[in-house]
Amino acid sequence: MKTRGTARNPANRFQPIATDRAFDDGWYQDPDDELCPDSVATEVVRETVTSIISRNQSPDVPFDQSINPYRGCEHACIYCFARPTHAYWDLSPGLDFETRLIAKPNAAQKLRETFDKPGYTPSPIALGMNTDAYQPIEREHRITRSLLEVMRDYHHPVSIITKGGLILRDLDLLTELASDNLCSVRISLTTLDNDLKRRMEPRTAAPATRLALLRKLSAAGVPVGIILGPVIPFVNDHEIEGILEAAAEAGARQASWIMLRLPYELDELFQDWLHRHFPERASHVMNRIRDLRGGRSYDSTFGRRMTGTGPYADLIRQRFRQRARKLGLNLHQPEPLRTDLFRRPDGEQMALW
């Protein structure tokens, strides 16, 4: 079984010259040998960060603060919009993104320092928005758990999106936060087909496991929903109604969707994957994507980048809304998490005066 999303490792867009990377430098580079990526070990480099919260001003997302404990993601989802960010570290958005990862071991310390600043104003923090906070390396590094411990200590609101089964390890913290309306979780659910999951998201939890996550989180009192993202024309769009029905039955309260996005190097990587796994429909998929994006593979315009435009986008929106409403799923943003409970632990609060 293939356990990497891509065998390719293209040069990133910041490299002035795209060199032949097929020589043996200790990293797998041959894009034609599909068997080699399975044998490439994951390397994790530790980065001591000077700050941990990223601020967001995009009108397309419902948060203005986020934290990513890791750069790169071992889940290896071929469609991941965050792949091109690996170029900022002079790494490839291809196989490097899945195997050459960066952890932030002092994340919790920096979060405490931020919360302790007199001028800090609490607002919900989205955890793991670019790369999954519960990807496999979290089992060893435990950075996500340490961040949740800080959130608990300061009574700070946090939201999480994940497709990782490891989230149940932290059910004690999530339950405690949720009891004060300080936490919500969205499970990324893109397919109910195990074979498609294996091809598209090789190192993620199985669809049945993600439904089990919904059940267990919901039973524990943690508000849960799903994100069906991305919707990929002619690949998983036929599953919309089935996914919504399964999620509602498992305890989801909210549901939203995102259309496939192909920024920068991701366009090349996704099309290569598409021709390898679905050659008979590859041209149809890309033609439909270009219809959504004004004739291009991607349009980054705010208000359009998450859904696309045109008749197909309207059809997906109508199908999703109709079934979600029938199932009683909330299509709007959930009730806001509380910020009025924020406090600094007593000992550290005294140190401020």
For residue 153, is it within any domain?
A: yes
As a dihedral over the C-alpha atoms of residue 74, residue 77, residue 78, residue 81, rounded to 10 degrees, the angle is -100
> Total domain count for the chain?
1
What is the domain extent for residue 301? Answer: 37-327
pLDDT number for residue 17 = 52
Render 273-316 in DSSP notation, one character per residue. HHHHH-TTTHHHHHHHHHHHTTTSS----TTTTTT--SHHHHHH
The rounded distance, in Å, linking the Cα atoms of 64 and 36 is: 40
Q: For residue range 74-101, what is the model confidence (pLDDT) as tens digits?
A: 999 999 999 999 999 999 999 999 999 9
pLDDT number for residue 194 = 98
Nearest 5°: CA angle at 65, between 59 and 67?
A: 125
Quote the radius of gyration of the chain (alpha carbons, Å).
Answer: 20
pLDDT number for residue 353 = 35
Name the residue type at position 55.
R
131, 320 contact by CB (below 8 A): no
For residue 124, is it within any domain?
A: yes
For residue 27, is it within any domain?
A: no
pLDDT number for residue 305 = 85
For residue 347, is it within any domain?
A: no
**CATH number where 226 lies:** 3.80.30.30
CA atoms within 13 A on the CB side of 68: 16
3-state secondary structure at position 266: helix
For residue 265, is it within any domain?
A: yes
pLDDT number for residue 68 = 97
Going from the C-alpha of 344 to that of each of 172, 180, 229, 348, the distances in angstroms are: 21, 16, 36, 6
Strand order through the sheet with 125-127: 54-55, 65-67, 125-127, 158-162, 183-188, 224-231, 254-259
Tell me which residues of the chain have a pLDDT lower than 50.
1, 19-36, 347, 349-353
pLDDT number for residue 349 = 44
